Structure 1
Amino acid sequence: MRTLLRPCAASLLLLVLAAGALAQPTRIDVVTPLAPDLAAFGPQAVGVRTITAVDRQRPDVLRAKEGEPTPRYDRRFVLEVWYPASLAPGQAPGGTYKTVSRDPSVAVTLRGRAVRDASIVGAGGPFPLVILSHGYPGSRYLLSHLGENLASKGFVVVSIDHADSTYDDQQAFASTLYNRPFDQLFVLDEMARLGAAGSGSFLAGRLDATRTGIVGYSMGGYGLINVIGGGYSETSQTMRGAPPNRLLAARAASNAAYRASIDPRVKAAIAIGPWGMQAGLWDAAGLAGIRTPVLFVAGSVDDISGYARGVRAMFEGAVNADRYLLTFVNANHNAAAPHEAPAETLDATGRAVVGFTQHADPVWDSVRMNNILQHFATAYFDRHLKGDQGRQAYFDVLPKGSEAVYAVDRDGVPQPAHTYWKGFKRGTAVGLILEHLPPGPDGR
């Protein structure tokens, strides 16, 4: 005789099953069937290591007082480094990352493909460098999906825990305003040091920092824009919340020393929802200083960085750079960058708790956006850091994905009417816009 569970027992069982499902680590290496071609992982196994670094005698914004000498301190960094790896016989790919959510009391476990402390691959290289810079607040794992993905394709990727700007040490915003570009440049110098022959690091001779790309999300994008030549406006130096003693003047557009200091090792940049334009950090003169190729990425309804007066205005204003703007139509500030919301940000009934909204978008699926970013980041950095001219075809598309025509025969051969975005499956470019402006008068 079949026994039926009583309603209360059935409900309890469902809750237990749901809790068990939520206890599984959130994967950062998912590539969905709808993903564009270049989102697929590359041929290399992936290793990961955590390293630390110290920038001596950095101006201490948090202790600085108006009209007084700015104190200095040693600014410490925790960095996550992904790289092409050589696994030992029988060593399986995969591992976990232990971190926290937006509520630092909530522990989070992520799972990916990287193997902790694996040997770096001996063949090929030296490999280009990609720097990842998170938002305010965030963590070095926020873009970990991109770190693993690019490492499998022959890049060394380093992601920064920005002091005073992580989930568990968030401090006054002035510190982030001042430190972001300096953090990115310090990490570039540190990785170049470690990659030099004879450094004693596992990266010695395996890393070419003269071919560097930077990916910055939100405040990471803010720092990136300044690193590649977007000098701050005069008004930003005394805006509400700005560091005291006009400290932003060191990297202002009006400062000749700053303009002369733009680092030529940075060959390309991807700015995802970069913050600051809508707050007056840049004007026309500042944006005109950008000459590094840059791919802007944004949601069309971004209510943090702004779209028309924010990211799009930056895209249009960088008149001396070759630049693209990839727009996720109706996405908000979380477009593309953050990995999927951790399982720990849902309760046993599947309802969102603190931290969920740091990752999710009301319209777009996060994993699908991650895959689209992985696709374009691969093409962009292959093009600019490895010199693969064939990757340009992934950008030579009709601007509106909804207007592209998918026309292939049964064997998958494109027909004359085919204008669909290269690498995208039927229907999957809908909701995306990719625009291009060249440097010079035609790019205004």
Structure 2
Amino acid sequence: MRILIPTAATLALIVSTPLTAQNRIDGQSPDAPALSGYGNLAVGVRQIDLINPDQVDILTLGGLAEKPDILPTYDRPLTVEMWYPAAPGSTGDTSLQAYIRDGTTKVTLEGRAVRDAVPVATSDDPFPLVVMSHGYPGNRFLMSHLAENIASKGYVVASIDHTDSTYRDQAAFGSTLVNRSLDQVFVVEQMAQLNADSGSDFAGLIDADNTGLLGYSMGGYGAVITSGGGVTEGIANAGFAPHGTLGIHQAGSPEHKALVDPRIKTTVAIAPWGQQFGVWDEEGLAGIDIPMLLIGGSNDTVSQYETGFRKIWEGIANAERALLTFEQGSHNTAAPIPAPEESFYFNAGLDFNVSEHYTDPVWTDHVFMNNVAQHFITAWLDTELKGDLEQSAFLNLLPIGSEGIWSLESDGTFALDHSYWAGFQKGTAAGLRYEVLSPTPAPVPLPASAWMLAMAFCGLGIMRHRARRKIT
């Protein structure tokens, strides 16, 4: 599972290669799967500051002993980092300034996206939108390795700083539970408006009608709700959020029905939180009818695996869904950037080494782990948002990666019995599982004549049963 012990020669190579410069987010392992590499488009990155007006002030409401007749509201700020296809040959600053898990240390991340680059010229074929939603706590840069990688392949990525949920402003958990999905849908609408604004640099560039939603941990919780998974009545009234405010996400409620946005065509949920506490039941998960890819580690002690997101995957009865499992992987599997160099210290206030927020104790080759996620998410989004059916070949796999047969002809082409995972080099699918479930078919109603015939046979059976009882 990618545990590497560098030799002297390897260390010399590490020193010499530019991809291993401090805090790079664009690393590519030599044996990375085929679709993890960057696309052909230059990438730009830009910060956008949004305001969602008149939102319920969960923090103020939580301090009130009784629910007021009129709920307190505020204008909710949301900072969004936007990665997008840029004009060919764009050059400039490719660094990102981001805070790490301790909430106080600011670091420089190095990627390939050019700050404020001119967007690529618009055309009649705008780019699908991907809305990205971090964990609790997190920030808009936590999955930046995914964001700029996807953007280079023809997507506009909008990654949200969720207020009350970042490293800098982490506050009451109830705010996260209520606001995650509201933030996600709001950003979809804002991107649509940006696309429609003739005075915007992005006019005609963003296909918000063809949106993918990508969430990690609490971002995944929000993504499940936004995709149609309404929470149970018990959870809505359990006091996780003050004065019943979580009720807007209850399955069947008018508010939750209105929340589900038809512009969102597919979801990727990495280690989504919640099901280990019974946030959704069969009825709630039945509300999801768009394809969903779930990703996570089988040893996730935060969101849990068997009782958590695997159970979500099993319970989504009305949609195509897949589950990519990193065997023995932790909650940090796939989503976070590689640990910044400045995070390798013990923080007494947090009571752990800050780098633990980013690293996995088993999947220690973090670049390769990120590459696997980039590969699968590329194949999934290209299939679902672009209709590129050729990419579905990378999703038509044996469930257990290590069980595939690597078989070549003498000329180096794959033999007929070759069944190893498409796009993976020999031996590199070990420790991975990819499982698929299809929608449960609805029962086919019988015509009236068939019902009458069935009832007649039923009645005949009852009479025979009674006759036998009298004989015996």
TM-score of the superposed pair, with normalisation by structure 1: 0.90
Please give the alpha-carbon distance, in whole angstroms, between the structure 2 residues aligned to 1:108 and 1:410. Answer: 51
Match of 2:105 in 1: 106
Match of 2:464 in 1: none
Deviation string for 1:183-235 (max 9, x for gaps)?
0000011011001152x221111111000001100000000000000001111
Change (3 A) 1:324 1:340: same
* SS of residue paired to 1:213: strand
Match of 2:75 in 1: 74
Alignment size in residue pairs: 416
Please give the alpha-carbon distance, in whole angstroms, between the structure 1 residues aligned to 2:370 and 2:104. Answer: 26
Match of 1:375 in 2: 375
- Work out whether residues 345 and 353 of structure 2, in 8 Å CA contact, stay in contact via their aligned partners in 1: no
Match of 1:178 in 2: 178
Match of 1:42 in 2: 39
Please give the alpha-carbon distance, in whole angstroms, between the structure 1 residues aligned to 2:56 and 2:67. Answer: 14
RMSD: 2.1
Match of 1:402 in 2: 402
Output aligned runs, 1:85-124, within 5 Å.
Answer: 85-87=86-88, 91-92=90-91, 95-122=94-121, 124=123
Match of 1:228 in 2: 227
* SS of residue paired to 1:270: strand
| Displacement of 1:256 | 4.1
Match of 1:155 in 2: 155
- Work out whether residues 46 and 93 of structure 1, in 8 Å CA contact, stay in contact via their aligned partners in 2: no
Match of 1:9 in 2: none
- Work out whether residues 289 and 318 of structure 2, in 8 Å CA contact, stay in contact via their aligned partners in 1: yes
Deviation string for 1:325-384 (max 9, x for gaps)?
000000010110001000111259xxx974201100000022111111111111111111
Kindly provide the amino acid, as one letter, of the partner of residue 138 in structure 1. Answer: G
**Percent identity over the alignment?**
47
Please give the alpha-carbon distance, in whole angstroms, between the structure 1 residues aligned to 2:432 and 2:335. Answer: 15
* SS of residue paired to 2:222: helix
Match of 1:11 in 2: none
Change (3 A) 1:295 1:427: same
Match of 1:237 in 2: 236
Q: 1:53 aligns with which of 44, 47, 50?
A: 50
Q: 1:317 aligns with which of 312, 315, 318?
A: 315
Match of 2:146 in 1: 146
Query: Does residue 219 of structure 1 match 2:218?
Result: yes
Match of 2:60 in 1: 63
Please give the alpha-carbon distance, in whole angstroms, between the structure 1 residues aligned to 2:85 and 2:254. Answer: 40
| Displacement of 1:391 | 1.2
Match of 1:3 in 2: none
| Displacement of 1:47 | 0.5
Deviation string for 1:260-308 (max 9, x for gaps)?
5421100111000000001121111111111010000010010000100
* SS of residue paired to 2:402: helix
Please give the alpha-carbon distance, in whole angstroms, between the structure 1 residues aligned to 2:197 and 2:263. Answer: 18
| Displacement of 1:258 | 2.2
Query: Does residue 287 of structure 1 match 2:318?
Result: no
Kindly provide the amino acid, as one letter, of the partner of residue 389 in structure 1. Answer: L
Match of 2:416 in 1: 416
* SS of residue paired to 1:314: helix
| Displacement of 1:75 | 0.3
Structure with larger Rg: 2
Q: Which runs of 5+ in 1 are unaligned?
A: 1-17
Please give the alpha-carbon distance, in whole angstroms, between the structure 2 residues aligned to 1:256 and 1:167. Answer: 33
Q: Which runs of 5+ in 2 are unaligned?
A: 1-14, 443-472
Match of 1:83 in 2: 84
Match of 1:355 in 2: 354
Please give the alpha-carbon distance, in whole angstroms, between the structure 2 residues aligned to 1:83 and 1:409. Answer: 42
Please give the alpha-carbon distance, in whole angstroms, between the structure 2 residues aligned to 1:411 and 1:152. Answer: 34
Change (3 A) 1:94 1:402: farther
| Displacement of 1:423 | 0.5
- Work out whether residues 399 and 435 of structure 1, in 8 Å CA contact, stay in contact via their aligned partners in 2: yes
Change (3 A) 1:57 1:403: same
Please give the alpha-carbon distance, in whole angstroms, between the structure 2 residues aligned to 1:211 and 1:411. Answer: 43
Match of 1:206 in 2: 205
Kindly provide the amino acid, as one letter, of the partner of residue 78 in structure 2. Answer: F
- Work out whether residues 87 and 119 of structure 1, in 8 Å CA contact, stay in contact via their aligned partners in 2: no
Please give the alpha-carbon distance, in whole angstroms, between the structure 2 residues aligned to 1:277 and 1:421. Answer: 30
Please give the alpha-carbon distance, in whole angstroms, between the structure 1 residues aligned to 2:313 and 2:256. Answer: 21
Please give the alpha-carbon distance, in whole angstroms, between the structure 2 residues aligned to 1:24 and 1:395. Answer: 33
| Displacement of 1:238 | 2.6
* SS of residue paired to 1:308: helix
| Displacement of 1:412 | 3.7
Kindly provide the amino acid, as one letter, of the partner of residue 427 in structure 1. Answer: G
Match of 2:196 in 1: 196
Query: Does residue 301 of structure 1 match 2:299?
Result: yes
* SS of residue paired to 1:27: coil
* SS of residue paired to 1:26: coil
Please give the alpha-carbon distance, in whole angstroms, between the structure 1 residues aligned to 2:345 and 2:218. Answer: 29
Please give the alpha-carbon distance, in whole angstroms, between the structure 2 residues aligned to 1:408 and 1:154. Answer: 34
Please give the alpha-carbon distance, in whole angstroms, between the structure 2 residues aligned to 1:340 and 1:249. Answer: 37
- Work out whether residues 61 and 70 of structure 1, in 8 Å CA contact, stay in contact via their aligned partners in 2: no
Please give the alpha-carbon distance, in whole angstroms, between the structure 1 residues aligned to 2:329 and 2:238. Answer: 29
